[in-house]
Structure 1
Amino acid sequence: MFLLCSRESRMEETLSLGSVPQGPDSEAAAYRADTGATQAFLEGYVRQRFLRELDDEETVIRSLPFYATGTGATFAAIAVAAPQLRQAAPGYAAPIASALALDVALVVVSIGCLLAALVRRGVLDVAPEAELLRSAGQVAQETREQFAEATPQELEGIILARVRGSLVAQMIVATARNRQANRERKTWRNRAFVALVGALLLTIGGLVATFAAGGLR
């Protein structure tokens, strides 16, 4: 009934929740029961999980300063150490140069993994407010036609339960997809982190070895 849309591409997908139930009074009683305390608790839980996945989508962006700082420090250290290798003993210069080359490779791998995480950004969200209002009006019209003999209070309860149920169903679908996407993003981000930490450790080792070999005097 309502729509889901991707924040990244703004592509919209229709979420089919099935046909409108046809039973009269028994269906109305069931919908009224859905507005109870248990249903409200479950709706709050679904909403919390939905918002958590939306927030987790930003974790890659929040970690960018660390990667930028680590990458810059690594390249700065290599720029300082590499020219000094000419002063190192020949037996040390080649291994240290190989270590620095591996260092650069790890940084490149880290950047590649981070880009892979960034490419996978974008979440599935509920429809814009205008579309929600339009769909709510459609639900209200269909409910009034189906339960023509119901009182205004009964109609309001049924409409509210249907709108809430439809919106919660959207959040469930969106949460499941966003959770899977966030897992993929975190996997690539973790790979980038491991590669960058390895590069930093190798950089420190390269600087120490260069100093011990006669460079950086």
Structure 2
Amino acid sequence: MDSIIFDLDGTLWDSRETVVMAWNKAIEQNDKIDHTLTKQHLKETMGLQMHEIMQKLFPNLNAEMHTEIIQSCGEIEGEYISERGGVLYENLEDVLKALAEKYKLYIVSNCQEGYIEAFYEYHELEKYFEDFENPGRTGLSKGENIKLIMERNGLKDPVYVGDTAGDRKAAKDAGIPFVYAKYGFGEVEDYDYAIEKFDDLLEIF
């Protein structure tokens, strides 16, 4: 193994408290949306791409309206994340520091452009990662973005760490082993390794 590629939400941190505030701020002026989002709403969409999230959260709106909401949510979300951050999982930085001494680390997340950068900015964790990718920047699926990271950085034997069935599928599509973060948001039945907490990565690798 030469590298570890991480999912972000539900794997490295929980940003739902901040994100739900940002998204509610973005949709409060829309007279076609008559409900407030909760952390549970966000949990149910983890692992999906933005257009899929819009279809799930706002099924009564058309694609054009979804695009407008994605843009407004993304702008406010970036500001909120940069100002407030999220909840890092226990001992996250210590584990990343130890792993980075042996392996190259990367992030591939189904998020909008600017989200991973905001994660880096608030928590000052960019120094542990070599590169990152997301569909907000490429328009590609998570599996395709994993392969893009592998090609761009010359990775020969990486693993992917994530917490949802979508993460498992992405790793399979990229042809690499999957580490299931059981403490995250999803339920996964098929995996190569599993961790109960982030520290467990040090025992596996």
Q: What band does the TM-score fall into relative to the shorter chain?
A: under 0.3
Q: TM-score, normalised by structure 2?
A: 0.22
The structure with the largest helix share of the pair is: 1
The structure having more radius of gyration, on CA atoms, is 1
Q: TM-score, normalised by structure 1?
A: 0.21
The structure with the largest strand share of the pair is: 2
